[in-house]
Amino acid sequence: MKNATIFYSMVSAYIKASYAHNYIFGYTYKGNVYMTIAPADIIPTVCTQDTASRGGGYSVRFKPNKRQKEILMTAYPTTLICSETYFNEQHNSLKYNKGEIFEKLVTEYYNQEWNKDNVPFTKDGDITINNVAYQIKYEKGTFCNEKSLVGLT
């Protein structure tokens, strides 16, 4: 069960510390993979509180249910990226996790070259489009955990 005080405090701290305030959310829906571009204020609506791994406390995770996906699709610009079959083929044939595969596909969609990096969310976005930085999150992706937020705000 979500503790609203902890969850909203974590989301607020994350948004305050984040370099990017625009997001590209990726998710499957009816056999396809979509991306939706949305501002930071949607995070509490489409994310959930979860337990972080490796002693990180609670986490804010993008694990949208059907209703949350439909909110994203109807409220914000949404683009079909590929079929779920193609996405899974890419995931199975490359050495990257699903979040990295999605980031790669989005970057290529915008005709940019993708390189895996570990730039902290406080320093830059995952992609810059028309001089605007975006963080990219795919289903089950973690925004932050309690441990990562300590000392940031």
Three-class secondary structure assignment of 60-124: EEECCCHHHHHHHHHHCCEEEEEEHHHHHHHHHHCCCCHHHHHHHHHHHHCCCCCCCCCCCCCCC
Q: What is the pLDDT of residues 70-117, one digit of tens each?
A: 999 999 999 999 999 999 999 999 989 999 999 999 999 999 999 998
Q: What span, in angstroms and rounded, lies between the C-alpha atoms of 142 and 122?
A: 15
Q: What is the pLDDT of residues 22-38, one digit of tens each?
A: 999 999 999 999 999 99
Sequence spans of domains, the chain: 4-145
The answer to pTM > 0.75 is yes
